[in-house]
Amino acid sequence: MVVDDHPIWRDGVARDLTDEGFEVVATADGVGSAGRRAGAVTPDVVLMDMQLPDGTGADATTAVLEVSPSTRVLVLSASDERDDVLEAVKAGASGYLVKSSSKAELVDAVRATAEGKAVFTPGLAGLILGEYRRMSAEPDPGHLRPSLTDRETEVLRHVAKGLSAKQIATRLALSHRTVENHVQATLRKLQLGNRVELTRYAIEHGLDG
């Protein structure tokens, strides 16, 4: 799915991706429409602009991931400002490309994002790494989970206690699938590979109490 408020740009990107064999299942021009359409089509990858008429790309990323937790968001923005990049990543974006990237770079980035890889325009990856290192030195655990919802944090606490998804579902009166969706969304947001790493993370940050 392609989210951008400029029709010519949006349609051009969608056409380029279609020419490369991707299926563009929807387009959207703002935060509201991005959330609605992602909920209807559950796209594998969303290409997200940062400047939208009714909010930011970070707002739209949050809206998309709330209704489709398995979706991976790749920001494609004219801005390479530090705050924009960090805001997008904290909202759950998997990667960040600037619009000056070539068509080949965009196509490669979409493929890599679909495979679960984090893709950043050169120079931005170091910025993200530096920010995560800074956050890991923060004593306040609230700063370490800037993008987790209350429900995701609640599920994470139960994971830290060694409960299975089925046990967590029973305890929180949720479906097994909903719990798994929250776990997968949390893994993605925290850049972790599996439940073992997630459990270690939770214990290190005092969430097993």
Counting residues of the chain whose pLDDT is more than 70, the rounded percentage is 88
Is residue 190 domain-shared with residue 91, that is, in the same domain? no
User: How far is 47 from 42, CA to CA, in rounded Å?
Assistant: 13
For residues 130 and 193, give the distance between their C-alpha atoms in angstroms, rounded to a whole number.
20
Query: Average pLDDT, stretch 50-71?
Result: 93
Q: What pLDDT was estimated at residue 195?
A: 74
Q: What is the pLDDT of residue 145?
A: 47
Q: Which pLDDT score, from 0 to 100, does residue 25 have?
A: 97
What's the confidence (pLDDT) of residue 150?
82
Q: What is the CATH number of the domain that holds 63?
A: 3.40.50.2300
Tell me whether residue 185 is in a domain: yes
Asked whether residue 180 falls in the same domain as residue 90, the answer is no
> Would 105 be classed as within a structural domain?
yes
- Euclidean distance between CA atoms 162 and 130, whole angstroms: 31
111/188 same-domain check: no
- If one counts the domains in the chain, the total is 2
Task: Among 126, 161, 186, identify where a domain stops.
Answer: 126
User: Residue 128's pLDDT is what?
Assistant: 63
pLDDT of amino acid 17:
97
CATH number of the domain where residue 183 is located:
1.10.10.10
Q: What is the pTM of this model?
A: 0.64
Helix locations, 93-194, DSSP H: 103-114, 124-136, 150-160, 165-172, 176-189
Q: Which of 5-9, 21-25, 142-146, 149-153 has the lowest mean pLDDT?
A: 142-146
Q: Per residue in 35-47, pLDDT tens?
A: 999 999 999 999 9
**Both 145 and 108 in a single domain?**
no
Choose among 148, 4, 153, 158: nearest CA to 74. Answer: 4
For 76, the enclosing helix (H) or strand (E) is strand 72-77
Question: Do 74 and 109 belong to one domain?
Answer: yes
In a domain, 132, yes or no: no
User: Residue 184's domain spans which residues?
Assistant: 141-204
Q: pLDDT, tens digit, for every residue of 113-161?
A: 998 888 888 777 666 666 655 655 554 444 444 567 888 888 888 887 7
Question: Which SS3 state, helix, strand or coil, does residue 52 take?
Answer: strand
Beta-carbon contacts of 205 under 8 Å, excluding residues fewer than 6 positions away, are: 141, 144, 145
Q: Average pLDDT of the chain? A: 85
Stretch among 28-37, 72-81, 113-122, 170-179 having the lowest mean pLDDT: 113-122
pLDDT of residue 143: 45
Task: Kindly state whether residues 36 and 88 are assigned to the same domain.
Answer: yes
One domain, residues 146 and 120: no
